[in-house]
Amino acid sequence: MQPRPFEAIVVGGGLVGAAIALGLTDQGVATVLLDEGDIAHRASRGNFGLVWVQSKGFGAPWYQRWTRGSAEAWPALAADLAARTGLDLALHQPGGVHLCLSEAEFEDRAAKMARMQAEAGNHGFDHRMIRAPELRDMLPGLGPAVVGASWTPYDGHASPLALLQALHRAFTAAGGAYIPDATVTAGSAAPHDFRVETAAGAFAAPRIVLAAGLGNADLAPLFGLAAPVRPQRGQILVTERARPVLPMPTTTIRQTGEGTIMLGDSMEEVGFDTSQSPPVMAEIARRAALSFPWIADLQVIRAWSALRVMAPDGLPIYDQSDRFPGAFTANCHSGVTLAGAHARIFAPMVAAGSLDPSLAPFSAKRFDVPHAA
């Protein structure tokens, strides 16, 4: 059977693939978005919802710049998606804090933020280390165990599920073809000529973007690329609704638009295990109650775990095949934060045919992995 022809194939309908697919469609590129389906590991449906900048790019200022650019692109993206889909993404970017529960944590954080500022050079890195008395005015109900926090004006949060739904709705409304239950099981590559096989049929296009999260590890070698990503588990607790109490998100505590308080999130190296672990959940709750003692009075109503898509150095992987021009990969563990960059910066590069040299530090060539099939 002849493959269905498109101008671009995007593999993976999570936050990364959907943002890129929408960006390609907005560039006038006829795009098909193929997704595995409900049995897949899907970080996009289990994350914390931060649009977070302040700790991104320690030792890698290019990642700080990329993240900041994405956070800056978010307001226009959220407004555009709201206008196109009617969905409110609950975006708030009031700045954010990382709470420190001991002097040692505070000193450590201060040193880290100072280094981030030094590495930022002319790009700048606006931040403050704030002591508890001043912080209490910013965050009512702060516990006595909090000694201070780092603050930057760049941080915020949004509804990640509304984002995912809006990206999909806008993509299909703009003429994109979304095909669920279409696991890519085989593929063939030639320069600007890619074919993939799925249970929903075969597809062909001169461009392909692999954005299949953890699935990229197996897919990338088929297209002359490498994506050495591994799962890293995170657990999240959600409380019952409270009146609006938290004016800004912290790294691990945020109040959603609906009023629930989300607590998270752990970083666990347990392979593909998506079970929950009571000791980890207890530690998340303990630190949250130390930070804001009133949280202990709220009922936890939901909890889950999900798997991050993690590269060996924790940075995103953006790449293009030397051997098969037109093939690209995109992986990251901040797909909410980076949605703006993926839709508005990365996708236009793919549409134009190659990645900007400024993205070269994100290539998987930085790892000692074979790059060409």
Ligand X SMILES: Cc1cc2nc3c(=O)[nH]c(=O)nc-3n(C[C@H](O)[C@H](O)[C@H](O)COP(=O)(O)OP(=O)(O)OC[C@H]3O[C@@H](n4cnc5c(N)ncnc54)[C@H](O)[C@@H]3O)c2cc1C
Does residue 181 contact residue 13 with C-beta atoms inside 8 Å? Answer: no
Whichever of 263 and 336 has its CB closer to ligand X, that residue is: 336
Which of the stretches 103-111, 118-126, 130-138, 326-334 binds ligand X when contact is defined by CB under 6 A?
326-334
Can you tell me the distance from the alpha carbon of 59 to that of 129, in angstroms, rounded to the nearest whole number? 19
Whichever of 46 and 148 has its CB closer to ligand X, that residue is: 46
The answer to whether 67 contacts ligand X (rule: CB under 6 A) is: no
| Residue 150: CB minimum distance to ligand X, A | 17
The answer to whether 178 contacts ligand X (rule: CB under 6 A) is: no
Does residue 347 contact residue 19 with C-beta atoms inside 8 Å? Answer: yes
The answer to whether 49 contacts ligand X (rule: CB under 6 A) is: yes
Closest to 245 measured CA to CA, from 184, 198, 306, 291: 291
Token digits of residue 166: 């809006």
| CB proximity list for 297: less than 8 A, separation 6 or greater | none
The answer to whether 96 contacts ligand X (rule: CB under 6 A) is: no
The answer to whether 187 contacts ligand X (rule: CB under 6 A) is: no
| Residue 40: CB minimum distance to ligand X, A | 3
Whichever of 132 and 150 has its CB closer to ligand X, that residue is: 150
Residue selected from 57, 96, 234, 340 as contacting ligand X according to rule CB under 6 A: 234
Say if residue 265 is preceded by a cis peptide, omega within 30 of 0: yes
| CB proximity list for 156: less than 8 A, separation 6 or greater | 50, 51, 52, 71, 74, 91, 92, 93, 94, 95, 96, 249
The answer to whether 343 contacts ligand X (rule: CB under 6 A) is: no
The answer to whether 47 contacts ligand X (rule: CB under 6 A) is: yes
# chain residues binding ligand X, by CB under 6 A: 44
Alpha helices in 8-144 (DSSP H): 15-26, 61-85, 103-120, 132-138
The answer to whether 74 contacts ligand X (rule: CB under 6 A) is: no
Instruction: List, edge to edge, every strand of the sheet that includes 300-310.
Output: 253-255, 260-263, 230-241, 300-310
| Residue 134: CB minimum distance to ligand X, A | 26
The answer to whether 52 contacts ligand X (rule: CB under 6 A) is: yes
The answer to whether 13 contacts ligand X (rule: CB under 6 A) is: yes
| Residue 198: CB minimum distance to ligand X, A | 7
Does residue 236 contact residue 46 with C-beta atoms inside 8 Å? Answer: yes
Residue selected from 24, 146, 236, 310 as contacting ligand X according to rule CB under 6 A: 236
Q: How would you classify the pairing of strands 208-210 and 8-11?
A: parallel
| Residue 183: CB minimum distance to ligand X, A | 4
Site residues (CB under 6 A) for ligand X?
11-17, 34-37, 40-44, 46-50, 52, 183-184, 211-213, 215, 219, 234, 236, 264-265, 306-309, 331-337
